[in-house]
Structure formats: structure tokens, C-alpha cells
């Protein structure tokens, strides 16, 4: 009797925990379930299954509680005894961020109307894909995770309908496995729609149909790229994945080729003539488009005249032409690991607009008179004509300064000293010094990586940077001061960092042994600069620099005359690279318009162009990172089999990211492969803790790893710890 009574009591306790009969918890669960499935109707049988009710007493109590809720007006019942929610949901529009195969987030267009991003289960996405614009219904109550949840009602706009992937062919059908990590469905292709593609070839596939009842979309191959794994094929795959163009519009190329390379006497007369003033360009050794030049002239009063001359692209690219349309669509040149995809056709980018030595060139300039303390006494902005005396590679110009000999070494040295003073003053005023690590590859003629090196930034790089920044700053301030910011113009803005995100980054830095005091904007800049100085040359440098950048706001183009936090400028623009950036062309056009006495144009269309340019800039950056990651994966697949020193650069519930110190390549050790213990994720402290041993793997740990697998398709590197010795709380460290 006692045992039966105990069993009965245990069952009752279990029923109560699950929402037992008579308990308010079951009523709450019913309300939550129906509110979370707004618009759907359920009978008692459906609810038993949906609520996962297992014991008989709770099942028996369900119907009476349902009728009680109906009588209270909290839920409704139809004539067929189906129950549904009476709550009114919210509706909003947003963009899909499809983070993994199980669920996505909808980022609302109007975040002020919804608390946070909206979690949507894969089954409620209505076949929406990453980047799609959707209308979503927001459930009246939060989900079990405490997040706002919802359901997609309608796909308003597909972000893309073409994907790059690898073909897998079976006797009766074929699938394309997409490269894009946020496309979680393989695409079914009828064998007659393969366009001759063979098994394991890379292709571009276009979605043609996706019926509601189908698990996978159907598509057809529209371009065969070639055999997976080959360098040219993989680079073309990246270009196609990010929608980068393979060729120019024929009409645009025809327009470019038809432009005369002769400069008319009338054009010469309309410009300030700098052809007799010492002028040179300084660019990367492999550059072909030289869009900026520096002129130098000593003035009788002991001051120096420094001209920043920029290729006058808008002299050649006129509004409402095919060239203009092409430049706008591309919006930026893209620099992949082995090639440049220019914004403008070669006739312009490497020819007419390139400031090649010993040729007369049309330019737009900002010319400064500076004293020996590098203070700007006065400046002039307008159109110029130049004749470059020398084309320097960065390395050549730096060698002249270092050796104090060679072409124009005295002028280069004085410019360098002035640039250092301008730079110091900029940092004293609150600019942030982000010196990001840039990895470069040495490739053979087939594109195979033979080695990699970290690009070093020397004084000559900083010299050019400072004078370009100075020109951009003065151009933006010139327009702003005309009418106190009321004139339409294109600014480059950078908001102050969010303090919560900075606090999170401060916690990351602390795990690497560094302090970051978060205070006012001025103190934030000083603290960040101190941290950047501390980590120079250390294993954690790249990791912390990347984390710092991610904690900052993103710079963008806009017509709003806001400031630039990172540079500590009240106003800033992009004036200095019109060969490779469309916003610089916009700036040149507006600048010319105002210099000629024009009135301010309506801002809306210019703001739309700014938004487009910012989006294109992000696309280019993502494609550049993808090409570098591809080469890193290929390099590690060919690298020597050995143990590598690394640093834990990220910790998630599914694995540990490790940056290999020697190569700056990042790989992952998956939790499922850590067989010696079951690890639980401590999100707040960014660490994994072994449930049995309590051993920890924490952000910033120095570890030894070895490569176990590389996947070029997915651009991933799988790692494992190089030792199974887990006697300490951390993986075996190196000193």
C-alpha cells in the first residue's frame, strides 16, 4: 500500500510539474501555446500532442480547463470544437538573418516597434531565405527562451535567387550543394536542366520553383564554372556568390573606348596649372590605377605648399551615360586575393584617369599651405592640371627616406616629418589608432599559395594616409561651412561606440590580460589607443583588433552631416579615390556644383545612392574576406603536418575557434569531437566547462593545435588540440 501511495504521489508531483489537473500552470501553458500559434486552430487531440501531455490525469483535465478559458474570454472555440488564441498579434516587416538550419532571426525595419530581433523557427519561415524582405507576425507572448518569436506570413522581396554550389549527380536526379553558409537547403535540379555540368563541378544555379509542400527548392543551372577545387573556379565561385560582375556592360566599354585622350586648350585654361611643380605618386608595387598624387613646393616665406591631386573621373564619366550607370551599380572596386575587379573599365581606371608619370593629367585638388609645425595656414580647392615626375612604389619611397638618398629624398623626408606632426595632433584630439593585421599571399602562376606574410605598415604608408585624410576633412568642412550643413553633401560618418558593446569588449580584453577603462568619448579613444599599443606584435593582436572593430559602429555614407568618431573629425568625406569608389564621384560632382555657385539639390536621391554605396561596400568586404579565407584553407591543406601555436579567438556552444599564430588562419575545434568530457557553454564568461572534470576552455587561452581537415567548399579548417593531456583547467599552454 505504502509503495502504491508513494507512486501515486510521485505521479501527482510529475503531473503538477508538467501542468497537472487543476493547476494554473497548465492553463498558462495552453495560453502560451495558442498565442505562439496565432491563426491556427487545435482540437483536444492536437493540444495533447502539442503540449506533450503524457499522464492520464493531465489529459483528462485538459478539456475542462479549455472550456474554463473560453468562458473567461481568453481563448475562442468554434463549432467543430477547435480552440484558438484571441490575442491580437503585431505585424512588422524585416530582413531574414538565417543563422542556422533550425531557426532564423528577422531584423525589423522599425526596431522601435518590436523588442529585439524576432526568432522564427525554420518551419515558420514560409521558405524565406537569408537576406529576404518579409512580412512577419509577432506572437503576443515571448517564447521559452524569453525571445520575441513570430511567423513569416509573406516574402515581399527575394534577396537573391541565384546560388553557387557543387553539383552532386545520382542516376535519377541531381542536387546543387550551395557554398553560401546561410543557404541551408540543397537545390534540386532535373537532369535535363544541368547545362552539361558534371558531378563535382561548381555551377551557378537559379531557383525556379519552391512549392509550399516541397522540402527543397527546384532550380536550373545557368552557368558551369568548372571542377571544384581549381583556383580559377573557386575565385569565380566567390565572385558569383557575392554577385560580383564578370564583365562590363558593352555600351559602357564602348563609351570608355571612344573618349579622346587629348586635353583641349580650353580645358587647360580652365584649370590651375601645376605641371611645373614637383609631383609624384606613391602606391603599392602592383598598382595600376594611380588615383592620387602629391605636389610639393617650398614657398618664399619658408612654408610648404602641399597639393593633394585626385584623378578627375567625373570629367570623363558624365551623368545619364552607360559608364555612369555601370559605376553606380558596382559602386566600388573589389580586391580579391589574386585580382582586382575595377569599378571602371580599364581604359579609364588604368589609362585616362590613372595619374601615370610623364603624362599631363586632369585632377581635382585640395592644396595646403602649411608651416613647419604642420599647421594649415590656408587652403584652396579646385580643378588642376598635373604632370607627375615620378611613380614610386611604397618600398622605393621608404628606402629613399631610410637611406637619405635617391630621387626626391629631401622632399619625401620633409613630407614625412610634417605627416608625423599631423598624425600626432590627430591622436591628441581623440582619433583611434586601429592598425589591423593584413595577410598577403605569395601565389604561383596557377594561384597555389606558396607562402603568406603579414603586410607591414611603414612611415610612407602613414604619410600618404595623413595627407588623404587631411584633404577629405577639409573638403567636407568647406561644404559644411557654406551653409551650416544645410547643403546636400555626401559625408562619411562613424557613430560613437555603444557603451554596452564596449563593456563586452572590455571583458574580452581582460581575458587576454589587458585593461580597458570605458568612460567618455575622449577617454574611450585614449583607452583604445593604449590597448592597441600594448598588443602590438603579441599573439593576441589580430584577435583583439578584430573584436575591437566589431564592437565599434560601422562607418557609412550619408547626407547627414554627422561626425567621424574613429578619426575624431567633426565632418569627413571620401574625396580621394574616385577611380575605385562611387561616393567619391558623388563628392566631386557636388563639389563642382557648389564651386560654380549652384544651389543645394534635393537630398533624397543622394541619400539613396549613399545607402546603395554602403551596401556595395559591405558586399565587397565580405567577398574579399571570403577570398582570403579560401586561400588560408588551401594554404593549411598544403602546410606541413605539425603542431601549431594558437590562441582561442572565439567560444560558442558548438565549438572553439583558434587563430593559428604563425599563419593568422582561424579554425575550429568542434565540441562534438571533444570526447574526453561533455562541455557546457558559459555564454556570459565566453568559455566551455567540462561537466565531469570542470576543466575550462576560455577566450584568450594559448593552445597547441593540429589540422585534421580542410574543406575548400565551405572554407573551413577543422582542428584538434595537439595533446590529450588535460590535467590543468586549460588546454596545454605554450610560453
Measure the CA–CA gap between 116 and 137, rounded to whole angstroms: 14
Task: Pick the closest to residue 275 from 303, 297, 302, 304 (CA basis).
Answer: 297
Cell triple for residue 697?
576552455
Measure the CA–CA gap between 323 and 438, rounded to whole angstroms: 32
pLDDT at 265: 95
Residue 557 lies in a domain: no
Domain boundary among 228, 253, 273: 228
What is the tens place of the pLDDT at every residue in 15-36?
344 434 445 778 888 888 887 7
CA 157 to chain CA centroid, Å, is 22
Residue 148 lies in a domain: yes
Can you state the angle between helices 582-595 and 459-482, rounded to 10 degrees?
A: 40
pLDDT at 6: 42
Residue 644 lies in a domain: yes
Least confident of 47-51, 78-82, 516-520, 594-598: 516-520
Measure the CA–CA gap between 334 and 326, rounded to whole angstroms: 14
Domain boundary among 103, 130, 157: 157
pLDDT at 73: 87
Phi-psi region of 113 (alpha: psi -120 to 50; beta: other; left: phi over 0): alpha
Looking at the fold, whether 105 and 142 belong to one and the same domain comes out as yes
Cell triple for residue 708?
585534421
Task: List, in sequence order, every beta strand (DSSP E) within 357-397.
Answer: 360-370, 376-387, 390-393
* Structural domains in the chain (count): 4
CATH of the domain at 149: 2.40.50.140
- pLDDT score of 8 more than 60: no
Judged by DSSP in three states, 115 sits in coil
Judged by DSSP in three states, 318 sits in coil
Measure the CA–CA gap between 518 and 563, rounded to whole angstroms: 20
Looking at the fold, whether 42 and 100 belong to one and the same domain comes out as no
pLDDT at 143: 67
Which pTM does this prediction carry?
A: 0.82
Measure the CA–CA gap between 152 and 103, rounded to whole angstroms: 12
Task: Pick the closest to residue 479 from 371, 603, 313, 384 (CA basis).
Answer: 603
More confident: 255 or 652: 255
Q: What is the mean pLDDT of residues 413-439?
A: 91
Q: What is the mean pLDDT of residues 150-166?
A: 93
Residue 196 lies in a domain: yes
Measure the CA–CA gap between 44 and 63, rounded to whole angstroms: 7
Domain boundary among 208, 228, 248: 228
Looking at the fold, whether 168 and 153 belong to one and the same domain comes out as no
**Using only C-alpha atoms, what is the Rg of the chain?**
31
pLDDT at 731: 43
Average pLDDT over the chain reads 89
Residue 415 lies in a domain: no
Measure the CA–CA gap between 177 and 418, rounded to whole angstroms: 55
| 436 neighbors 442 (Cβ within 8 angstroms) | no
Percent of the chain residues topping a pLDDT of 90: 63
CA angle, corner 581, sides to 577 and 582, nearest 5?
A: 125
pLDDT at 547: 83
Looking at the fold, whether 153 and 97 belong to one and the same domain comes out as yes
| 698 neighbors 733 (Cβ within 8 angstroms) | no
Measure the CA–CA gap between 2 and 463, rounded to whole angstroms: 89
User: What is the longest distance spanned by two Cα atoms in the chain?
Assistant: 114
Measure the CA–CA gap between 328 and 14, rounded to whole angstroms: 65
Q: Report DSSP state, residue 22.
A: T
Q: Report DSSP state, residue 494.
A: B
Residue 153 lies in a domain: yes
Looking at the fold, whether 105 and 59 belong to one and the same domain comes out as no
Cell triple for residue 426?
590627430
Tell me what percent of the chain is helix, strand and coil, each rounded to the nearest 5: 35, 25, 40
Looking at the fold, whether 654 and 700 belong to one and the same domain comes out as yes
Which strand ranges, in their side-by-side order, compose the sheet holding 679-682? 679-682, 687-690, 696-698
| 293 neighbors 282 (Cβ within 8 angstroms) | no
What is the tens place of the pLDDT at every residue in 204-259?
999 999 998 999 999 999 999 999 889 999 999 999 999 999 999 999 999 999 99
Phi-psi region of 226 (alpha: psi -120 to 50; beta: other; left: phi over 0): left
What is the tens place of the pLDDT at every residue in 660-707?
998 889 999 999 888 888 899 988 778 899 988 888 998 888 899 999
Range of 695's domain? 639-721
Residue 698 lies in a domain: yes
Residue 663 lies in a domain: yes
pLDDT at 633: 94
Amino acid at each position: 500500500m505504502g509503495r502504491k501511495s508513494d507512486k501515486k504521489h510521485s505521479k501527482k508531483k510529475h503531473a503538477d510539474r508538467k501542468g497537472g489537473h487543476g493547476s494554473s500552470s497548465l492553463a498558462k501553458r495552453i495560453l502560451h501555446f495558442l498565442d505562439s500559434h496565432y491563426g491556427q486552430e487545435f482540437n483536444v487531440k492536437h493540444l495533447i500532442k502539442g503540449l506533450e501531455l503524457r499522464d492520464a490525469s493531465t489529459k483528462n483535465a485538459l478539456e475542462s480547463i479549455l472550456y474554463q478559458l473560453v468562458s473567461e474570454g481568453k481563448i475562442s472555440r468554434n463549432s467543430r470544437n477547435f480552440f484558438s488564441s484571441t490575442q491580437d498579434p503585431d505585424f512588422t516587416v524585416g530582413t531574414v538573418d538565417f543563422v542556422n538550419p533550425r531557426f532564423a532571426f528577422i531584423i525589423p525595419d522599425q526596431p522601435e516597434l518590436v523588442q529585439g530581433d524576432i526568432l522564427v523557427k525554420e518551419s515558420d519561415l514560409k521558405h524565406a531565405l537569408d537576406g529576404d524582405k518579409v512580412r512577419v507576425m509577432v506572437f503576443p507572448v515571448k517564447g521559452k527562451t524569453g525571445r520575441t518569436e513570430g511567423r513569416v506570413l509573406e516574402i515581399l522581396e527575394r534577396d537573391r535567387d541565384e546560388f553557387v554550389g557543387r553539383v552532386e549527380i545520382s542516376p535519377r536526379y541531381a542536387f546543387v550543394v550551395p557554398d553560401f553558409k546561410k543557404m541551408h537547403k540543397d537545390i534540386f535540379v532535373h537532369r535535363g536542366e544541368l547545362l552539361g555540368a558534371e558531378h563535382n563541378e561548381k555551377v551557378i544555379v537559379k531557383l525556379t520553383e519552391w512549392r509550399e509542400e516541397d522540402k527543397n527548392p527546384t532550380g536550373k543551372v545557368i552557368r558551369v564554372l568548372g571542377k571544384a577545387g581549381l583556383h580559377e573556379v573557386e575565385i569565380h565561385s566567390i565572385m558569383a556568390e557575392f554577385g560580383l560582375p564578370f564583365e562590363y556592360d558593352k555600351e559602357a566599354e564602348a563609351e570608355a573606348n571612344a573618349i579622346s585622350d587629348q586635353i583641349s586648350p580650353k580645358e587647360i585654361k580652365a584649370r590651375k596649372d601645376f605641371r611645373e611643380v614637383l609631383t609624384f605618386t606613391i602606391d603599392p608595387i602592383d598598382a595600376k590605377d594611380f588615383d592620387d598624387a602629391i605636389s610639393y613646393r617650398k614657398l618664399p616665406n619658408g612654408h610648404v605648399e602641399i597639393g593633394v591631386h585626385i584623378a578627375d573621373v567625373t570629367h570623363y564619366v558624365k551623368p545619364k551615360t552607360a559608364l555612369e550607370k555601370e559605376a553606380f551599380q558596382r559602386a566600388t572596386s573589389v580586391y580579391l586575393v589574386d585580382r582586382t575587379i575595377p569599378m571602371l573599365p580599364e581604359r579609364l581606371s588604368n589609362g585616362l584617369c590613372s595619374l601615370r608619370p610623364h603624362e599631363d593629367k586632369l585632377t581635382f585638388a585640395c592644396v595646403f599651405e602649411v608651416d613647419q609645425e604642420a599647421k594649415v595656414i590656408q587652403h584652396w580647392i579646385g580643378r588642376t592640371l598635373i604632370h607627375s615626375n615620378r611613380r614610386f612604389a611604397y618600398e622605393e619611397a621608404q628606402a629613399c627616406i631610410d637611406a637619405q638618398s635617391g630621387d626626391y629624398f629631401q622632399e619625401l623626408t620633409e613630407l614625412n616629418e610634417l605627416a608625423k606632426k599631423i598624425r600626432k595632433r590627430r591622436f591628441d584630439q581623440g582619433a583611434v589608432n586601429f592598425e589591423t593585421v593584413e595577410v598577403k599571399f605569395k601565389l604561383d602562376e596557377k594561384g597555389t599559395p606558396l607562402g603568406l606574410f603579414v603586410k607591414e605598415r611603414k612611415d610612407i604608408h602613414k604619410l600618404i594616409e595623413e595627407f588623404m585624410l587631411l584633404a577629405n576633412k577639409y573638403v567636407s568642412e568647406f561644404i559644411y561651412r557654406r551653409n551650416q550643413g544645410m547643403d546636400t553633401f555626401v559625408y562619411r560618418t562613424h557613430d560613437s561606440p555603444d557603451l554596452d558593446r564596449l563593456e563586452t569588449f572590455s571583458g574580452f580584453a581582460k581575458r587576454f590580460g589587458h585593461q580597458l577603462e570605458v568612460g567618455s568619448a575622449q577617454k574611450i579613444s585614449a583607452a583604445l589607443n593604449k590597448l592597441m599599443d600594448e598588443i602590438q606584435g603579441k599573439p593576441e593582436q589580430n584577435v583583439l583588433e578584430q573584436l575591437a572593430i566589431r564592437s565599434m559602429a560601422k562607418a557609412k555614407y550619408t547626407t547627414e552631416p554627422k561626425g567621424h568618431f574613429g578619426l575624431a573629425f567633426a565632418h569627413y568625406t571620401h574625396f580621394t579615390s574616385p577611380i575605385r569608389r562611387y561616393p567619391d564621384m558623388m563628392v566631386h560632382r557636388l563639389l563642382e556644383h557648389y564651386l560654380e555657385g549652384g544651389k543645394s539639390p534635393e537630398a533624397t536621391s543622394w541619400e539613396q545612392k549613399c545607402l546603395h554605396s554602403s551596401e556595395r561596400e559591405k558586399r565587397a568586404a565580405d567577398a574579399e574576406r571570403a577570398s582570403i579565407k579560401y586561400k588560408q584553407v588551401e594554404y593549411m591543406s598544403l602546410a606541413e603536418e605539425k603542431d601549431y601555436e594558437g590562441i582561442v579567438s572565439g567560444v560558442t556552444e558548438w565549438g572553439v575557434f583558434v587563430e593559428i599564430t604563425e599563419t593568422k588562419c582561424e579554425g575550429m575545434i568542434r565540441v562534438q569531437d571533444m570526447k574526453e568530457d561533455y562541455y557546457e557553454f558559459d555564454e556570459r564568461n565566453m568559455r566551455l566547462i567540462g561537466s565531469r572534470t570542470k576543466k575550462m576552455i576560455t577566450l584568450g587561452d594559448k593552445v597547441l593545435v593540429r589540422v585534421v581537415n580542410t574543406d575548400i567548399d565551405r572554407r573551413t579548417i577543422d582542428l584538434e588540440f595537439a595533446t590529450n593531456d588535460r590535467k590543468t583547467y586549460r588546454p596545454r599552454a605554450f610560453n
